[in-house]
Each structure stands twice: as C-alpha cells, then as structure tokens.
Chain A
C-alpha cells in the first residue's frame, strides 16, 4: 500500500482543502444538473473531483492513490460532520429545524454515519489496511478491483478484508442484534 505521507504534511493539508472544496462544488452542480434528486451519487462525485483536480497544479503531481485517499477522507469528513450536525438539530440544540429532509428521519434502515465513523476509527486502530479499504469503499465509492490495484493485493484478499471489516462494523453498530 502506498503511504499517504509521501508528500509533506503541509501540502497534503492544502490539497485536502482543495478536494474538500471541489467536492462541495461538484456536488452542487451535480444536483443542479439533475434538478433536485433525493440522493447524491457520491461515487461519481469522487471520480469527478479527481478529474477536475487533476488539472490543478498542486494536485497534478499527486498520484491517483493518494488523491483518492484524500477524496474519500474528505467525503467521510463532510458526510459525518453533516450527519452530526443533523443529529444535533434533532436533539433540538440552539438551532431550529428547518428544511430537514424527511427521508432522513423516515428511513429506518439507515446506518448512523456518526456511529459508523467511530466504529471505523476503532477498526483502523487494529487493522489499518481494512480501515483504509472501508473508507475508500464506503466514502470514496471505489470498487474492490480498484482497491486491489491500489493496495497491490489480490482481489480475493481485498474481498476477505472487506467481509471481515464489515462484520466488525455490523457488530459495532449493533446491527446484528435485531437479527438474532
């Protein structure tokens, strides 16, 4: 696996901000183009950001792996922050709830992204490779094949990692309890 710290931390930070910004912009334009979709295709989003940012000088020298890591990380941060803000709204903090999408409250099968984030952090502590994989797959929207290529592993190994990591997360999130 290529280490993300092959570039200086400072540049990495700047790049992260760049990715973050692009994600937001592209997300909006995607939404506008489609009118007002109920969902947003995060996978396409991350890829589009990659294509866009490839032209940016600061990003040009960054390899794809590194870049996608950043994008997935940014996406994770955005979504988790947003979910956290939303849950704060629901608890009736200092904010009034306006325009909160009904679907969020209604969708019963929805995974709590804030809890997922915490579980993923715990996973990465014991199994960094799986942690990275999950981040790429869930927040970066990357496929197993792609990840295998990036991690220089066989697809079989990646799939095994994924299945195991997922079981870990399911348990951490308590999704298995209802089943048993």
Chain B
C-alpha cells in the first residue's frame, strides 16, 4: 500500500469511525466515490476498530508479561550462537548452573587464537554493586594462576550490562563422572582430590575463597588433570549483594555442599571451602552425598538436617555400589572426612593443606595409632606451649615507649583532663632523660633500666595523681611481666590494684583490669591458688560491665583458661577458650591477628586434651593469619612457629618441625637478643626435635643455653627451668646415659612436686621419667615405687593419661626385678584397658598383648605366651592391610619365644621377613631391632649347617648391642640370654 492511497483510506476511516454505526454505510458510499477497493479496506478497518479493546488488553498483557519475563529470565538463553560478548564469539552451550549458562567461546577480535568458557552472569545477580566489585577484583582473580585452577582469562561488562567471565576452557569431565567412567580406584581418587586441595590452599593463601566447591565445579581432563572452576566468583557476587534483599535462591551456593554458616547466611571464610572439600571427598569415596539428597533441596532444608542430626560416616553411607569398600573407609578416612565437615568452623581442618596432609599420611600408611614406640614408654618431654597475651611481648626501649604512650592516650581518653596528660607526659619525658647517652655514661640503656628508673620516679614523685599513678604502675608492671621479671612486676601490680580500689571515684573497669593483671602475673609465677580468685573476679566484673565480646572479656577468658590449663584442668580451659575464640571471631573477625592469638591458645589446650588433629589445624590457621597480617619476621609468627613445631615434633613429624623451630629461634634472637627468656623457650622446642632426630649434642647445647638464660632471668621456681632440666633428662636418656639422667630427673620431680603438687600431670610425667631412668640404672625398687604411685594417681583420675601405659611401665620394672607373676597381672590389666580404650583390633592392644606374652614367657606360661604373641601378630597383620606398619615389632618377640622353645625352624621365616622389612626401611627407626634380629638369626644358623656364618652374625650383633648401656633391659628374654651367655 502506498502512502497516498493510505492517506485517502485514513481520511475516510477517520470520518466514518466517528459517525454512528447506522450512518456509516451512507457516509462511506459518499466518501469513497465509487472506489470499491478503498471502500472495502475502510470497512475492514472499521470492523477491526470494533476489536480494539481486545487489542488493547492483548498488547497490555503481552507487554507486561514479556517485560517481566525478560527481567527475570536468564538472558543467556536468548543468546544465540555467533553472538559476541566483549571480544568473545560464542559458539555452543557447555552447561548451565546457578549463576548462568556457560558457553564455549573464542576470541572474536582476531588478536590471537584462544578458547574460553564464557559465563554471563544470570539476571538478578548483576546488581551495580556486583559489577563495581567485579571490575575491581577481576585483576586479582586473573592472577590466580595454578595448575589445578581454571584461571580467569578475561572479564567485563557485556553490552547489555551484565558481567561476564571468560575462564580457561577445560576439556574434561566433571569429577564424579570421570571417576565412574574410568573406574578410578581409591588411591587415585584421593590423589585427584589432593590436587584440588593444593589449588584451594593456593587460593586461600591469596585470600580468595571459592565458596561453591562441588564435584561439578571440578573437571578432570583426559590425561587425569583435575581443575577447579569458578574460583572467587561466588564470593565476588555474594559479597556485593549483602545489603540488598536477595532471596536465598540467588545466593550462589549449592545447598548440598554448603557449610552450615553459609546456609545461615553468615559471613564465611576459608572454613566454608574446607567443609565443601569434605563434602566432595565424602561423595568421591562413598558414592553418596553427605546429606540425603531429599534433604538438601533448599538451604533451609539442608540446614535443618545439619543442625538436627549428625552426618553419617562415609563408611556407613550404605551405598551398595560404593566406589571404595566400607572397610577401607572405616577409621582414618571416616575421621578425615568428618573432621573437614565439622559443624563448627574452628573444629574443621584449618587449612586445605592440613586436610591434604592427613590424607597424604593415610596414603603413606602413617596412622598415628600405629606409631607407638616398641618399648611402650620413653622419657616424656613437657614443652610448654607459648602463649601470647594481648600485650605483645616485643621488648626493648621502643616497645616500652609504645606501651607508655598507649597509657598516655588511654589516660587522656578516660579523663579528658589536660592535667592528667601533662603528668603522664612529664613522667615519660623524665624517664627518657635517663636514656640520654650523656647521662647514662654512654652505655646503652636497656628497657629494664628504664623501667627501674621509672618505678623509682613513680614512688618518689608526689605530684602524680592516684588515678594516673595507678595507670602508670599498671603499665610498668605489664612491661616487667613481659620481660619475665615477675617479682618486680608483682608489687607494682598490687599497688595499682590498691590505688584503684580506693579511688574516690572508683572505676570498676580499672579494678577489673588490675585484678586480671595481678592474676596473670601470679599465674605466670605458677601461683595458681592465689591467681584463680583474682582472675575469676576480673572475669565476673568484666562480664557484668561490658558486652559479651568485648576485648577485655575475651582477655579475661583467655587468662583464666591459661590458669586452668596450668592446673591440668583442660576441659574447663577448653570451654573458656572456645568462648574466647568465638567472641574474638565476632569482635575482630575470623582473619584477625587477635583471633589468631586465641586460636593458638585454644590449639595448645586441645593438644593437652589429646585432640591433636584439631590442634594442628588451628596452629596452621593461626600461623597463616599471622604471616599474612604481620609479615614473616614478626614476634607473633615466631610464637606460632614454635607452637606448631612443638606439635609436629610430638607427632613424630620431625622433618617438618625442624625448619619451623629453627626459624622461630632465629626470629626471636633477632628481636630480643640472645639472652631473652623467649629465646630460651624456642631453644627448648628446637632442642627437643634435635634430640628426636638423633642430634643429642646440638640438643644439649641448646637446652643448656636455655637453662642458663632461665636461671639468670626467671624466678628460681619458674616452670621453664623445670622444662629445660627435663629436656636434658630426655637427651641423656636418648643417649642411654642413665647415670647423668637420674639426678636431673630427681630435680625436675622435686620442682614439680613443690610448685604443681603431687597430682599434677607434669608431676606424674616427671615420676615416670625418673622411674624409667632408675629402672635402667638397676635401681628397681625405687622405680617400682614411683610407678605404683603414678598408677594409683591415674587410676583415680579422669583417665586423661593412660593407666594402661602405667601398667605396662610397672610390669616392665617388675620383670627386671624377676617378679614375673605380678608382671603378668599388670600386663593383663593393660590389655583389658587398651581393649576398652582403643578397641580389640587396635595397635595399642596388640602392643599390650605382646608385652603380656613376654611376661608370660618369663613366668613359664609358654602356652599362654605363644597364644598372646600370635594374637598380637594377627592384629598386626590385619592392621597392615589398611596401614603401612612395621611387622617386625610383632614377629621378632614371637621368634624370640620360639627360639627359647627350641623351635628355630618356625622362628627363622619370621626373622628373615623382619630383616627384609627392615632393610627396605633403609635403617630408619629402631636401632635395637635389627641387632636383635641378627643375634637371633645368627643363633639359629649356628645350630645348623651355616654355623660359621651364624657365629659371625652373633659376634657382630653382640658387640654392637653391648655398646648400648642398659640395653639388656630392653631386649626380649631369649635375646637377653643370648647376649649375656655367649657360647
């Protein structure tokens, strides 16, 4: 239709449509002037006009619905192949998820050939806040380059305003699918998972959290490389949305893998990723998700499930087609998975690395339960974990200035009085006149000198008001305490408290502060009886005065916990520390340095309670935070290194522990100088691990240096002196120099008895150590008495320390005394207790059975002995199916017994396989067993055709064994006989 014709029709229509319907026919006839076509078309329009209402409503509804749908829909769906997004040309859909559709794309700007997985963020997730944040952070994400992370190539805003991400395109299968298709076995599954842990650890180290780790976000390429997708994107989108009302459905999380805190919508950190990793591992191993699928459909449902019930262990997930048989999951793997998925973040592995390490240990067959020493006992060390209070112990003149300047500022803030700040300023200025080299005869002035002068001035200067005097006394006392000069600190802290209690306008917060500080000093002096009421009052007052998560309340909790821990009341300490950590996380944030301090202290107590895995995770977390926030050479980092190193040493991870402890000593020497007690503390830790890696000379030098520092700087009763002395005991015992060990061990015991009392765990350990040294020096009667005492104490205590071990220790002394019948009774008790505590199939039960066999052998109960040796061996063999454990520890005692019964033919295969096993271990481990094996094997050969060879073997073995003092005590009965009566 042309315009002219339309104009004509339009004119006629306009006139006709306004005429009443009955007049229209006549009007049209006139207006159309015989043009039938025009007439017909106008009539059509007139008829159409009658349907106008339908058109109006039809347009309305279409417009509204399409508009709403447009807004709501994921516009990716309207994207077609060949469409461009930024410099990318889309080719085909790869998949879709909560955040949007993923497309395969290629560079469209022809700059270079590159493929990418392009993700346009779904509508509703592209608020302006998200976009702004996205633009800021994509640079950080783009630098996240790791072999197991699909990295961000590019990101930007598409023409329609939505952010897009172009990620490295991974041509692979989702993790679970890959494992099913390729029938991947358990070890390989765990190795794939370890790669993911490495990727997560790497990102966490750069403060990037994934937040949406799940099997479908992990792709495995054809050559078996696992890659984690979408790192940092969920957090990016989620964070920017806080403050905007977003329904949970839009929060980028997958309920089935989200941590409880994530489901609750709380702020989340790396711990949520650890949880999700646990979820992935759960599914990878059991073939089932940790939550029943029906319960994880929405965040609310998942949360309900998590909060009302406990997770079922992967081995009990009950999947008939589980990729890994339940029996292989039971034990270590169950523990690892459930630990990663703990409801409370602090109870999870602190880092992906810690999770990976435990898995690696599992793969290497190094379960802690199978690592006990053959002797059942070795001299134990106590290395006090170092706690760091809220006042940093950075010492020296500068620190003192900082502390006093802080006092000044506080005084100013609290009083708003110019007069007060003038007084404090005057005090400070006066103090530093003393630091003037001209006045101090050119000698450098130490912090202690300054404090001593300051104390003098505080005593003599009458112009200082009581409130200001109290604050200054308090500050100086704290500084003395940090210097380890508790006896100087104590009277000042007492004065401060007195002044504050008698203020005309008494401020309870300040009284509480003084009570707390005084309690802390007394606690450090190990005067627990006096310290406890003070710390309790301080906590009670602060709780009454302040918000629950106030720093002062947290500090009080921590100080009281330290006291409880010192008293050996670890469970009470645990509750206090858990509260402190929780409050610190709320008050300072999960990644704050302050929180790290409480985490570290919490970990120390967990260690004391025997919750070693939990403790390790927290130590790592604390170290992580401190290194990130403070730098590698900081005093608090040294503290973390020390605590972590001591823990690793105690766990037998010596190689890991050595460099950490060496670093700790070096940092502290640099900060405090060589003669500071804090240096000594770290040296004790390092000495301990040196002793364990068989470097007794280096260990002794360190321990003696530390002891000298402590004797010079700490009060004579200080527990650190006992700790250093005991370290020397351990070193001497390690050298089998029992004569040197005994007097030191006596001193340690006497010190603990007087400072900690007769029932303190440290006292009991000191008794055990002394008994061990005595027993090896032939002083059996005294050893027996001590061991009976310890057993009586442990038997009546809450069983924190193993009464079973006490029975074994006592029995070994009884055996030396020839009291075989009684030894059998105690060894039987030990077996019963181990069965109850550790289970009938545990390594500890096997050890106890073996020791029982030895006692029975000596008591002449051959049938019982053989039965128990064989029972121990059977447990060992069963354990060896799942873990790599040393079988010779079970085989040699049985062989020893068989040889005693003239059954060399049965003994030889046991000995030969033990020898082979030992040869494979390249001489690492027990130095006595191979000599024993040689002696026994030589004996059997000497009675047969290979007589000359056998006698040669015996000669060498005897010579080497005799070089070890007191060795006969540690040998199996027949071996001992062979050593002492050469034929």
Tell me the A residues contacting B by CB distance below 8 Å: 17, 20-21, 24-25, 27-32, 36-42, 45, 78-79, 81-83, 85-86, 89, 94-95, 98-101, 103-104, 107, 109-113, 116, 126-127, 138-139, 160, 163-164, 166-171, 173, 175-176, 178-180
Q: Does B3 contact A (CB under 8 A)?
A: yes
How far, in whole Å, are A111 and B71 apart by their CA atoms in the complex? 19
Asked whether, in the complex, the Cβ of A32 is within 8 Å of the Cβ of B244, the reply is yes
Q: Total A-B pairs in contact (CB under 8 Å)?
A: 174
Q: Does B123 contact A (CB under 8 A)?
A: yes
Whether A175 contacts B45 in the complex (CB less than 8 A), given A38-B65, A85-B78, A89-B77, comes out as no
Task: List the A side residues contacting B128 at CB < 8 Å.
Answer: 25
Q: Does B267 contact A (CB under 8 A)?
A: no
Q: How large is the interface on B (under 10, 10 to 19, 20 to 34, 35 or more residues)?
A: 35 or more
User: Which one of A24, A126, A175 lies within 8 Å of B3 (CB-CB)?
Assistant: A126
Closest to B63 in A: A42
**1/0 contact trace for B48-61 toward A, CB 8 Å?**
11111011111101
Task: List the B side residues contacting A163 at CB < 8 Å.
Answer: 14, 17, 49, 52
How far, in whole Å, are A163 and B10 apart by their CA atoms in the complex? 10
Asked whether, in the complex, the Cβ of A164 is within 8 Å of the Cβ of B10, the reply is yes
Asked whether, in the complex, the Cβ of A25 is within 8 Å of the Cβ of B161, the reply is yes
Tell me the B residues contacting A by CB distance below 8 Å: 1-3, 6-7, 10, 13-14, 17, 44-52, 54-59, 61-74, 77-78, 81, 93, 96, 123-124, 126-128, 159-161, 244-246
Closest to B44 in A: A171
Closest to A110 in B: B62
Q: How far is the CB of B581 from chain A (nearest CB, A)?
A: 37
Q: How far is the CB of B731 from chain A (nearest CB, A)?
A: 69
Asked whether, in the complex, the Cβ of B55 is within 8 Å of the Cβ of A111, the reply is yes
Asked whether, in the complex, the Cβ of A28 is within 8 Å of the Cβ of B123, the reply is yes
User: Which one of A21, A116, A164 lies within 8 Å of B59 (CB-CB)?
Assistant: A116
Task: List the A side residues contacting B44 at CB < 8 Å.
Answer: 171, 176
Q: How far is the CB of B243 from chain A (nearest CB, A)?
A: 12
Asked whether, in the complex, the Cβ of B61 is within 8 Å of the Cβ of A110, the reply is yes
Asked whether, in the complex, the Cβ of B59 is within 8 Å of the Cβ of A82, the reply is no
How far, in whole Å, are A178 and B47 apart by their CA atoms in the complex? 11
Whether A21 contacts B49 in the complex (CB less than 8 A), given A42-B64, A111-B58, comes out as no
How far, in whole Å, are A103 and B64 apart by their CA atoms in the complex? 11
Closest to A101 in B: B69
How far, in whole Å, are A109 and B62 apart by their CA atoms in the complex? 8
Give me 7 A-to-B residue pairs in the complex whose CB atoms sit less than 8 angstroms apart, sorted by A's number.
A32-B244, A40-B70, A79-B67, A100-B69, A101-B72, A110-B62, A175-B55
User: Which one of A41, A171, A175 lies within 8 Å of B54 (CB-CB)?
Assistant: A175
Asked whether, in the complex, the Cβ of B64 is within 8 Å of the Cβ of A81, the reply is no
How far, in whole Å, are A29 and B130 apart by their CA atoms in the complex? 13
Closest to B2 in A: A126
User: Which one of A82, A94, A126, A175 lies within 8 Å of B58 (CB-CB)?
Assistant: A175
How far, in whole Å, are A41 and B71 apart by their CA atoms in the complex? 11
Whether A82 contacts B69 in the complex (CB less than 8 A), given A17-B159, A28-B123, A39-B64, comes out as yes
Closest to A43 in B: B63
Whether A24 contacts B161 in the complex (CB less than 8 A), given A37-B68, A98-B77, A170-B49, comes out as yes
Task: List the B side residues contacting A38 at CB < 8 Å.
Answer: 64-65, 68
Asked whether, in the complex, the Cβ of B48 is within 8 Å of the Cβ of A39, the reply is no
Asked whether, in the complex, the Cβ of A167 is within 8 Å of the Cβ of B52, the reply is yes
User: Which one of A85, A111, A179 lies within 8 Å of B62 (CB-CB)?
Assistant: A111
Task: List the A side residues contacting B96 at CB < 8 Å.
Answer: 98
Closest to A97 in B: B77
Task: List the A side residues contacting B66 at CB < 8 Å.
Answer: 79, 82-83, 86, 104, 113
How far, in whole Å, are A28 and B7 apart by their CA atoms in the complex? 42
Task: List the A side residues contacting B58 at CB < 8 Å.
Answer: 109-111, 175
Interface of B is mostly: helix
How far, in whole Å, are A178 and B74 apart by their CA atoms in the complex? 35
Nearest 10 pairs of A and B residues by beta carbon:
A39-B64, A85-B78, A111-B58, A170-B48, A40-B67, A126-B6, A82-B70, A171-B48, A167-B45, A167-B48
Asked whether, in the complex, the Cβ of B65 is within 8 Å of the Cβ of A175, the reply is no
Closest to A76 in B: B63
Asked whether, in the complex, the Cβ of A109 is within 8 Å of the Cβ of B57, the reply is yes
Closest to A83 in B: B66
Q: How far is the CB of A14 from chain B (nearest CB, A)?
A: 11
Q: Of A45, A98, A104, A111, which is in contact with the most chain B CB atoms at under 10 Å from its CB?
A: A111
Task: List the A side residues contacting B7 at CB < 8 Å.
Answer: 127
Q: How far is the CB of A87 from chain B (nearest CB, A)?
A: 11
User: Which one of B1, B2, B63, B69 lies within 8 Å of A138 (CB-CB)?
Assistant: B63
User: Which one of A36, A78, A110, A127 lies within 8 Å of B70 (CB-CB)?
Assistant: A78
Asked whether, in the complex, the Cβ of B124 is within 8 Å of the Cβ of A104, the reply is no
Task: List the B side residues contacting A45 at CB < 8 Å.
Answer: 67
Asked whether, in the complex, the Cβ of B10 is within 8 Å of the Cβ of A127, the reply is yes
User: Which one of B1, B52, B65, B71 lies within 8 Å of A107 (CB-CB)?
Assistant: B65
Closest to B92 in A: A94
Asked whether, in the complex, the Cβ of B124 is within 8 Å of the Cβ of A28, the reply is yes
Asked whether, in the complex, the Cβ of A166 is within 8 Å of the Cβ of B55, the reply is yes
Closest to B161 in A: A21
Q: How far is the CB of B616 from chain A (nearest CB, A)?
A: 45
Asked whether, in the complex, the Cβ of A39 is within 8 Å of the Cβ of B73, the reply is no
Asked whether, in the complex, the Cβ of A127 is within 8 Å of the Cβ of B68, the reply is no
Asked whether, in the complex, the Cβ of A138 is within 8 Å of the Cβ of B68, the reply is no
Whether A39 contacts B67 in the complex (CB less than 8 A), given A126-B6, A176-B48, comes out as yes
Task: List the B side residues contacting A168 at CB < 8 Å.
Answer: 45, 48
Closest to B55 in A: A170
User: Which one of A31, A126, A167, A175 lies within 8 Å of B46 (CB-CB)?
Assistant: A167
With A32-B244, A167-B48, A170-B51 known, 6 other A-B pairs at CB within 8 A are A21-B160, A109-B54, A110-B61, A126-B6, A171-B45, A176-B47
How far, in whole Å, are A116 and B66 apart by their CA atoms in the complex? 13
How far, in whole Å, are A47 and B59 apart by their CA atoms in the complex? 19
Asked whether, in the complex, the Cβ of B68 is within 8 Å of the Cβ of A40, the reply is yes
Closest to A20 in B: B160
Task: List the B side residues contacting A180 at CB < 8 Å.
Answer: 47
Closest to A137 in B: B59
Closest to A79 in B: B66
Asked whether, in the complex, the Cβ of B71 is within 8 Å of the Cβ of A40, the reply is yes
Q: Of B45, B54, B67, B78, which is in contact with the most chain A CB atoms at under 10 Å from its CB?
A: B67
User: Which one of A31, A139, A175 lies within 8 Å of B48 (CB-CB)?
Assistant: A175
Closest to A106 in B: B65
Task: List the B side residues contacting A29 at CB < 8 Å.
Answer: 127
Asked whether, in the complex, the Cβ of A169 is within 8 Å of the Cβ of B65, the reply is no
Q: How far is the CB of A142 from chain B (nearest CB, A)?
A: 13
Q: How far is the CB of B341 from chain A (nearest CB, A)?
A: 31
Task: List the B side residues contacting A86 at CB < 8 Å.
Answer: 66, 69, 78
Asked whether, in the complex, the Cβ of B77 is within 8 Å of the Cβ of A85, the reply is yes
Closest to A84 in B: B78
Task: List the A side residues contacting B13 at CB < 8 Å.
Answer: 164, 167
